[in-house]
Amino acid sequence: MADEKKAKKAPKLADAATVSIDPATRQMVAHAQKLGIETVFDRAENMKQCNIGVQGTCCKNCAMGPCRLPLPKNGIEGEDERKGICGATANTIAARNFVRMIAGGAAAHSDHGRAVAEVFLSAARKEGDYQIKDIPKLMATAPHLGVETQVEVDGEMQDRDVYEIALEVGEAALKEWGKDEGELLYLKRAPKPLYDKWTKEGVKPRNIDREIVEIMHRTHMGVDQDYKNLMKQGTRAALADGWGGAMLATDLQDIMFGTPSPLESEANLGVMKEDHVNVIVHGHEPVLSEMIVAASQSPEMIALAQKHGAKGIQLGGICCTANEMLQRHGVPPAGTFLQQELAIITGACDAMVVDVQCVFQSLANVAKCFHTHLITTHPIAKMEQKNVIHIEFDEHHAMEDAKKILTMAIENFKNRGSEVMIPNYKATQIAGFSVESIQYHLGGTFRGTYYTLNDNIINGRIRGVAGVVGCNNVRSKMNNAHIEVVKELIKNDVLVLTTGCNAIACAMEGLLAPESAAAFCGPGLAEVCETVGIPPVLHMGSCVDNSRILLAATEVVNAGGLGKDICDWPVAGSAPEWMSEKAIAIGQYVVSSGIYTIFGGTLPTSGAPVFHDHLCKDMEKIYGGMWDVEPDPLKHAHKMIAHIDKKRKELGIDKARERVLMDMEARQAIDA
Ligand code: SF4
Ligand code: MSK
């Protein structure tokens, strides 16, 4: 009896039939369970969420705690009695936790940006394997960083040397992380009324690192104990991310690797090929993966793969390294965040190469069950498990590193076991919509404006625009909310801009194919998409590329006719299945740029209703944008649509839409 009691209870298994709306995922989870391999879906069954943590009111900022302040059953009555040992209120604790999440997210995006800036500098100095590829983008970016692109020679203006400009751009960019005075240079790219709002509120970031450090100071035990003041600093750090580190990452990557333009590819685990060497790149920083793509196309590597019995090399991606490789090279994503283990469980992954962010440590345990080489490449992101190989990326011999990794994968091809199962599911997609390529598609090279988009918003064919982005979260059915929200938006004539794992989810469901316009859109949006030849959901890249959405929103303001500020026009943001700290940082920079932003699942603020209202109500008065939360995908989409309609009404363009969307009967009545 005692032995029986001691016997370990077998962990529960997830119901493979309901984990996701994606059939490939369901098939692979069932396969993993048959093989006795645990995945994130099973672990979620056995790990209950902490109810107080979910509410945002657990503080462990000093060793007198943790202090836990659950919401009393009778609501906020007795609010005064709820305090930690030091007296910290629920608002203080929730706000401290929230801004620490912003610090984590802003640090992740911005440190990525810094790493890119360092590689950029080496490219500008012609030291390594990287080059300055996109000269027009360099010329467009330089003035924003105070770098002249022309010089006066004998009374005439002449173009400066490209590498000289690049060097100054790289140096100016790197200064943004630690300069000792002034403010971030990119803030001036925002519409003037928004910039003025930030000035008035005193939230303009001074430099990127400082704002993150200051959050850690202010949230230390016994420092800032006013949730409004804490959120001011949270806003500063979030703006330092969106209009700083993330935007710099996007620009410098575009200059080095090329600004994306539309291209065709595929998505889902079915992109892996049984007769090819499969290499999966995963994480966020594209610098090494860029070289892996180049190396995989070299005759030398292809010949080596063939010598080892493979037909060729198939690259695939997970998470945002996938999005980076997709938007510039058409490398197909093999899956979203929640599919990372499944790519190895196919038994056909010869190497998985990971860099930073969103990488499960459990990959090492899964890789142990197969022949897969799991290779970490970043000095700040190693794993303790012994089967993990670390090959540290160095920009000075990047091509050599890439070839070394590919050779290891190729030589590993013969070691595959008999358990190979690649699900036969993949969908076609069009990706690669940058701010510049949207401009080209909608306005043509010479018009160079978003006016066509504005025109269609004003006449009501396009009801509004939504940025739907972000992660998967295993606490909800994978991709269900992503797809329901997006489908409901496009059905109601809302054009969707997507990044991150939402983009991969939409691609897997076929929503990034132009044909989806006829199948899923309302009549107005379908007409525009069919005329211009674009899908109703535009893939704008990785998580750092949410900066593209900020700039696209600014372009709409600049094109005219839809108000003077981002908060004036019908645009909304959403992260239906968010999970990471980066999502909170993005949410706050989007809100403080004037955009209504709604999250699915829960927000870690529900245990502090006053602080929650500060985010969801007061923010609108300050910045024009505000937070909201709604787990039900249909209600979620309709809250966004209601906001879009509110903005249409404020602009006086609500009537135009009613006219445009009259049904046939109504039109005939007019004609008669
Ligand atoms: Fe508790 Fe205050 Fe310490 Fe937080 S800082 S753990 S609320 S005593
Ligand atoms: S990868 S941050 S799970 S979007 Fe950028 Fe996906 Fe979220 Fe990671």
Could you say which ligand is closest to the alpha carbon of residue 337?
Answer: 2
Calpha distance 64→44 (Å, rounded): 30
Which residues does a 6 A CB cutoff place in the pocket of ligand 2?
Answer: 284, 319-320, 337, 358, 470-471, 500-501, 542-543, 580, 582
Could you say which ligand is closest to the alpha carbon of residue 109?
Answer: 2
| Neighbouring residues of 358: CB distance < 8 A, sequence distance ≥ 6 | 282, 283, 284, 319, 320, 337, 340, 471, 580
Is the pTM here over 0.75, yes or no? yes
User: Which residue is listed with tokens 């590193």?
Assistant: 401
Ligand 2 atom at minimal distance to the Cα of residue 582:
2
C-alpha 546 to ligand 2 mean position (Å): 12
Q: Which amino acid is at 655?
A: K
Q: Are strands 313-318 and 571-575 parallel, antiparallel or unpaired?
A: unpaired
> Can you give 112-143 as a three-state secondary structure string?
HHHHHHHHHHHHHCCCCCCCCCCHHHHHHHHH
pLDDT digits (tens, 9 = 90+) for 331-368: 999 999 999 999 999 999 999 999 999 999 999 999 99
Ligand 1 atom at minimal distance to the Cα of residue 88:
7
C-alpha 84 to ligand 1 mean position (Å): 5
C-alpha 212 to ligand 1 mean position (Å): 21
Of residues 600, 603, 596, the one with CA closest to residue 632: 600
Q: Give, for ligand 1, the residue of 86, 100, 223, 224 to mutate: max count of ligand atoms closer than 8 Å to Cβ.
A: 86
Q: Give, for ligand 2, the residue of 289, 320, 539 to mutate: max count of ligand atoms closer than 8 Å to Cβ.
A: 320
Give the residue, by CA position, lying nearest to ligand 2 atom 8: 358
Helix (H, G, I), strand (E, B) or coil at 572: strand
- Structure token pair of residue 263: 């291209």
Give the residue, by CA position, lying nearest to ligand 2 atom 1: 319
- Structure token pair of residue 166: 């690049």
C-alpha 582 to ligand 2 mean position (Å): 8
- pLDDT for 671 equals 43
- pLDDT for 100 equals 98
Torsion of CA 182, 185, 189, 190, to 10 degrees: -40
Q: Calculate helix-pair angle for 227-240, 581-591, nearest 10 degrees.
A: 100
Asked if residue 203 lies in contact with residue 236, where contact means CB atoms within 8 angstroms, the answer is yes
Of residues 513, 441, 510, 506, the one with CA closest to residue 479: 506
- pLDDT for 672 equals 44
Which residues does a 6 A CB cutoff place in the pocket of ligand 1?
Answer: 59-62, 64-67, 84-86, 88, 93, 221
Residue stretches of the chain with pLDDT short of 70:
1-7, 74-80, 443-448, 659-672
- pLDDT for 670 equals 44
Full set of structural domains in the chain with CATH: 90-257 (1.20.1270.30), 269-415 (3.40.50.2030), 428-671 (3.40.50.2030)
